[in-house]
Amino acid sequence: MRIAIVDGYTDEPAGLGVPPYIDVYPRYVAGAAKAADPGNVVRYFTVDSMRGDWPAALKALRGFDMVVVIAGVTTPGKYLSGTPISYDELLDIGRLEGPVKILGGPVARYGYGLEGGSIAHPPSKFRRYFDIVATGDVDLVVYEALMHGLEGASPSARHEGYELVDEFAVKGAFVVQQHPHFANLVAELETYKSCPRYVSGGCSFCTTVAYGPVVYRRPEGIAREVEALHAAGVRHFRLGRQADFYAYMAEDTGREDLPRPNPEAVERLLRGVRAAAPLLETLHIDNVNPGTVARWPRESAEVTKLLLKYGTPGNVAAMGVETADPRVIKINNLKADPEEAFEAVRLISSIGAVRGHNGMPWLLPGINFVLGLPGETKETYELNKQFLSRILDAGLLVRRVNIR
């Protein structure tokens, strides 16, 4: 079988796949195709590479047996190295005659719409054009379709654990070499699904908790994937696919809203990654819950020091502060009050701001605000400003302030 993967790029709260990042979706799909049959031929295209001659690119896709499109931007940003696939481009591919067409990624789960919370086109719109709109894990859906035919594939199929993911991840690592930005790529790595805060329902605006109970991926599986990516030529890695890096394998997950970090497990993970990639140049993380850091300062300090030991400079602990208005925090079941968020910034900045070999601070907090949350008033913005001024007055460094 000849399988084409079209990367229309993805951006979610826990996962980035806009260049120079390559997310897990196309890599896992490539691995699923090889796991189904090592003789399957996989070709990877980015939507940007197709735009050079769109009609010719569409014509080329017609020559494949299966076309898998990955797309979905649920946390829109400003991108410098790539432009996510447009709605019309998605439909153009959906209208192709010949190949089996499968749509996967956040767009298949939540729909298409660049305005964050508002979805302009629900997933049902794409069912007219694609043979399968994979609301589950697209790699597993592709695997089932290749193994059992279209009728044997459930669009909502989801991995129950990480056994197959670990296999697909290793077998699909080769596909990075087909990326136009290769080898200047950052490979996004997955450490777990869902968010420990699912026990309390999670933050009002967040879709991550929809995955249900947290399932952690073992350090050995991640290390094997890194080894395969490193062998394929990847030198830059980000442990970004998780709700809260500091909560990796945290004890009391499933019982506590903010479970206690497990520095031992974090060290096993980081040590394994470094051992698997001796020529690694970048090891960064994404997503840290300020509530975890404030509630567990001793363990969080340990994790921060581990990131200095095993990570590389220029790292960002992106923290969803969201708002500094206590009323908005309560209404939206957010994770930390302003005092806790400040303490989290202080702890990470005071340990992580030392300069690394390239002159950059090793690890700084990043601050994410979400605007437009239920309960906001004019005063909310004043409180947000005061929160930022307090950080400035305290002389603490942050890498960036992200406003969504």
Contacts of ligand SF4 in 164-223 (CB under 6 A):
195, 197, 202-203, 206, 208-209
Nearer Cβ to ligand SF4, position 195 or 273? 195
Pattern 320-359, binding to ligand SF4, x per CB under 6 A? x--------------x------------------------
Burial 49-88 (b: 16+ CB within 10 A, else e): bbeeeeeebbeebeebebbbbbbbbbbeeeeeebbbbebe
**Three-class HEC string of 152-209:** HCCCCCCCCCCHHHHHHHHHCHHHHHHCCCCCCCEEEEECEECCHHHHHCCCCCCCHH
Nearer Cβ to ligand SF4, position 46 or 332? 332
Nearer Cβ to ligand SF4, position 349 or 368? 368
**Shortest Cβ 26–ligand SF4 spacing (Å):** 23
Contact 209, 257 (CB under 8 A): no
Residue 404, both tokens: 């969504």
**Shortest Cβ 93–ligand SF4 spacing (Å):** 31
Nearer Cβ to ligand SF4, position 46 or 208? 208
Residue 16, both tokens: 């980035």
**Shortest Cβ 206–ligand SF4 spacing (Å):** 3
Q: Which residue has the tokens 């009728």?
A: 151
Q: Which residue has the tokens 């004890």?
A: 251
Number of residues that bind ligand SF4 (CB under 6 A): 12
**Shortest Cβ 35–ligand SF4 spacing (Å):** 30
Contacts of ligand SF4 in 369-388 (CB under 6 A):
none
CB atoms within 10 A of CB 282: 16
**Shortest Cβ 283–ligand SF4 spacing (Å):** 22
Nearer Cβ to ligand SF4, position 136 or 202? 202
Binds ligand SF4 (CB under 6 A): choice among 46, 75, 253, 289: 289
Residue 360, both tokens: 């950059």
**Three-class HEC string of 79-119:** CCCCCCCCHHHHHHHHCCCCCEEEEECHHHHHCECCECCEC
**Shortest Cβ 202–ligand SF4 spacing (Å):** 3
* Per-residue DSSP letter, 246: G
Pattern 252-281, binding to ligand SF4, x per CB under 6 A? ------------------------------
Nearer Cβ to ligand SF4, position 197 or 218? 197
CA distance 114 to 358: 36
**Shortest Cβ 369–ligand SF4 spacing (Å):** 12
CA distance 19 to 99: 27
CA distance 223 to 17: 20
Question: Smallest Cα–Cα separation from 192: which of 242, 232, 144, 231?
Answer: 242
Pattern 5-44, binding to ligand SF4, x per CB under 6 A? --------x-------------------------------
* Per-residue DSSP letter, 295: H
**Shortest Cβ 384–ligand SF4 spacing (Å):** 17
**Shortest Cβ 66–ligand SF4 spacing (Å):** 33
Contacts of ligand SF4 in 98-157 (CB under 6 A):
none
CB atoms within 10 A of CB 152: 10
CA distance 83 to 19: 9
Nearer Cβ to ligand SF4, position 46 or 323? 323
Nearer Cβ to ligand SF4, position 172 or 366? 366
Binds ligand SF4 (CB under 6 A): choice among 243, 328, 391, 396: 243
**Shortest Cβ 144–ligand SF4 spacing (Å):** 28
Nearer Cβ to ligand SF4, position 126 or 205? 205
Nearer Cβ to ligand SF4, position 35 or 209? 209
Any residues with CB less than 8 A from the CB of 60 and at least 6 apart, and which?
Answer: none
Q: Which residue has the tokens 């994404």?
A: 286
Interface ranges with ligand SF4 (CB under 6 A) = 13, 195, 197, 202-203, 206, 208-209, 243, 289, 320, 335
